[in-house]
Amino acid sequence: MISHEEIFKKTTEKFDKIKMKLFVGSIGLLYFVQFVSFFGIFYINPSHIDMLANFIHIFICLFLLYRFNPFRKPIFTEFDQKIIFSTAILLLLNLGFAEFFKQKFLENVNHIKTNLGY
């Protein structure tokens, strides 16, 4: 007979795989959107980039609160190490990139307005 602990462990491992794919996919999407917007491949409204970044920040916060809350038995896996490192890098870069993209966008808008005489 399978114990409750084994069922919980297997279920947690499956959810970890799903969460990791969602986490990596959302980070990849954010960087892709910022990249194509910055290089002018596509025009993306900066407020949409902010909205996506906010969604990812909320997802990260909820994930970290769930994963490392004081009511769970502390288990630190390789997955946790990757999540913590990736999250720290993402937050550091994303906060800097978001401000940089806003400034670039506003500079471009002001340049266009100046050239059009507005």
Say yes or no to pLDDT of 82 above 80: no
Instruction: Please tell me whether residue 96 adopts helix, strand or coil conformation.
Output: helix
Tell me how many degrees the CA angle 77-78-80 measures, rounded to the nearest 5: 65
Tens digits of residue pLDDT in 45-69 = 777 777 877 877 787 788 788 778 7
pLDDT at position 38 is 66
Element holding 49 (H helix, E strand): helix 46-67
Classify each residue of 52-89 as buried b or exposed e, where b means 16 or more C-beta atoms within 10 Å of its C-beta: bbeebbeebeeeeeebeeeeeeeeeeebeeebeeebee
Tens digits of residue pLDDT in 14-29 = 877 787 788 778 777 7
Say yes or no to pLDDT of 116 above 70: yes
Say yes or no to pLDDT of 72 above 80: no
Residue 8 amino acid letter: F
pLDDT at position 118 is 67
